[in-house]
Structure 1
Amino acid sequence: MKPQETVPTSLPGAVRASIADSLATVDAELARRYPGDPGTRQPVHTVYVPGDLLTATTARDWGDQALAALDQHAPDADSFAAVLGLPEDLAEPVHTRVRAKLEREPVEDLRIDFEDGYGPRPDAEEDAAAARAASLLAAACAEGGAPPCAGIRMKCMEAAVRDRGIRTLDIFLTGLMAAGGLPDGLVLTLPKVTYAEQVTAMVRLCEEFEKARGLAPGRIGFEIQIETTQAILGSDGRATVARMIDAAEGRATGLHYGTFDYSASCGVGAAHQSMDHPVADHAKAVMQVAAAGTGVRLSDGSTNVLPIGPTERVHDAWRLHHGLVRRSLARAYYQGWDMHPGHLPTRYAAVYAFYREGLEAAAERLAAYVDRTAQGTGIADEPATAKALSGHLVRGLDCRALDGAEVERLTGLGRAELDALAGRAPAVS
């Protein structure tokens, strides 16, 4: 072997060592605060169901109602594509995938609501509903029929409802433990957060429950719902949401934007409260920057325009919802809320079309990047873009908008290679 040629330098090794020592604390903080994507599947939506309306068949019922709406108002691929303005080449693959999804797994994330969707109830009534929710979820998990993610939204940490929220959380988690333990896809949502100290209180609750039941530290995480102006900008002019992520001490799994509460807190009139209002865009941009690199995922809100009534009205609501979901996807909000079974067809249509229409271009660019040539794409991509391209394909695979075989054929890359390029851990099925 030819000896490595020595090139001249001027700085002694002690300088590099000194620089490394001086930045050791910063290196540790970067690793702690910005661990990157958690490497797990993110649901494309969250379905909210009031605690008293939950049944053992809620997820299946939503799927059946969504299929019935398709059969009634857009019974074939061409009619569905015409309503939503889908390109001709996407009509059949999107329609086929939407129907298959509604038949196989209509709900990806189910939130049993004990806050606004449930309201104030006598304590005995809410106690019973929380215990029943735990029992139904545990049974669904045991039988293999639970959505991949599921949990509750408790009442917030404000003084008037704090004790009630804590008790409901305790009953629900205790019920799950009694039925065999906390499910892997458990998700808890803390609403109407205004101060980072409320997040700290939630962390303490999680810690105390873990100690009481012998769970591993950090086992319980939670989402933070952004519904108030104070959650975006504090009285000191700082971005409160960044402080909330820090206060969660690694337990925050997501930031969920609350469309109507946040709009109302900004003084927006009811007729103009929407996911695409300028106040919504501002809040979500702040959330996005605060969460970037932290592993905390983002979710957009919902529309309150329901696809019910005569076909013309349903089509109008579908077009609105489809457009809002596509807008969120383009802005890197890959999850949102669905409030009615009729929203499921357009949720999945928008998601599947989004990933399928960009498949060939993304695959070509990624293959060219891996081969270190432009290969006629006319674009010289950098590592950050390659990460985004592979992330796009991975998310499409997660929600089954894309098939592994077609992605591998177009890119020459298997799932493990895509995960590595996207900065994710190996896929968990």
Structure 2
Amino acid sequence: MSGAERRAMTGRGLAGGVIRNILHDLHRDNERKRAKLKEGRTKIKGSDLEKLRSEDPWEVLQTTLAEVFGLQLEVAPFNDLYHTYIKVNTIKGKLEGRKFVRHSGFRPRDLMAEGSGFLQWLSVYALAVSPEVCTLLLDEPDAHLHPSLQSQLVEKLEAIGQRLHKQVLLATHSTEILRGADHLQVMHFSGLGAKYLQEADQKIGLFLGLGSDYAPKLDPLRKAKRLLIVENLSDSRMLRIWAERLGLAWPKNLVEWPWNGGHAERKQLFLQLQSEIPELKALSLRDRDDMELNHVDQETLRDKSIQAPHINMVLRVWRRRHIENYVLLPAAIARASGRDIAEIEAAIAIHALIVPANFAAKDVALAMLDARGKEITQKGAGSMRALYGVSPEDIAKAMEPNEIPEDVKTLLNQISNMCAD
């Protein structure tokens, strides 16, 4: 691409689209430097080679990739008279001192065959080492990166800033990054003002879900030491209603915390809170939404997509798409609205859903698991709220104990057991 094309793509937020061009430029410049340093010699002088390795963008990039990912890049020769694209392969191996040793039997593969996290990391880092860039303004470059890669990215960017004399300004909501950052490097924006933090403890107020609106929860949490993270407080209200209908006491030593982030983000929130409250235990509950059903354990509701859960944090996902799926019972909706059950069944059928007789069972039909519960109960002109003026909470209050699904009972028992420990 021409320089104008590259700038246009970067301006549209498509910096990753020019990654092959950037890598080609870095590699070509490195080859020129090596050729010049080798002029009149059989090999590059040791002191010159050491300086090249510490200051040259391509050398810095290759060393960093070997350290973080165990791979390096191989850029094929490019001639625009014959080639239509820049070929870049990845090679797996490990650093042994200064030397990168390839894994035996590994076949180089195209750059784009690597994972999206690596490609995002590489896009940011390649731009950072580029000699054309002296100041980087990065808007949440950590998004979609594994927490360990987030912290490593910032660590390596800091090293670039010092080694290659660049300034890096990074906007983030990542607790992983904030946790490891020196508080004196963190600028907090609030209202129309911004200022650097003065004390390390001030970082707590910046972690996910920890703003001024949530500060009142911290003192109760220090006392209760038990945390329930939900997407909305309406979810915990429904759990309370179901517990009451089942004759179960709602735990008094439980703080409810609304946060709509994913389990990976919630885990980081938990770790930050646990650093302040070592005895903390938590249960995180989310709608399944579009997650594959086989990622949720049928018996425990465990989120099987998270490979390294914390021993004191339980990650749970409703097997039905939305929590509202658990109130899609015509008999309960009829009682809550004062309408005839046949009318309710007809209104639900418009949404292409027939509620089965085993509504409460774990092995209920797939159509019941995948139904769009939020839309059916409270969104749009055909929802139960619009047609009959009833909310999911109203329906939950009208449910009989034997109508409450087994998933709900499983979850309530787990909350009770956590708070009894």
TM-score between both structures, scaled by the size of structure 2: 0.28
Larger RCO (alpha carbons 8 Å, 6+ apart) = 1
Structure holding more strand per residue: 2
TM-score between both structures, scaled by the size of structure 1: 0.28
Structure holding more helix per residue: 1
Look at both structures and tell me which one has the larger radius of gyration over its CA atoms: 2
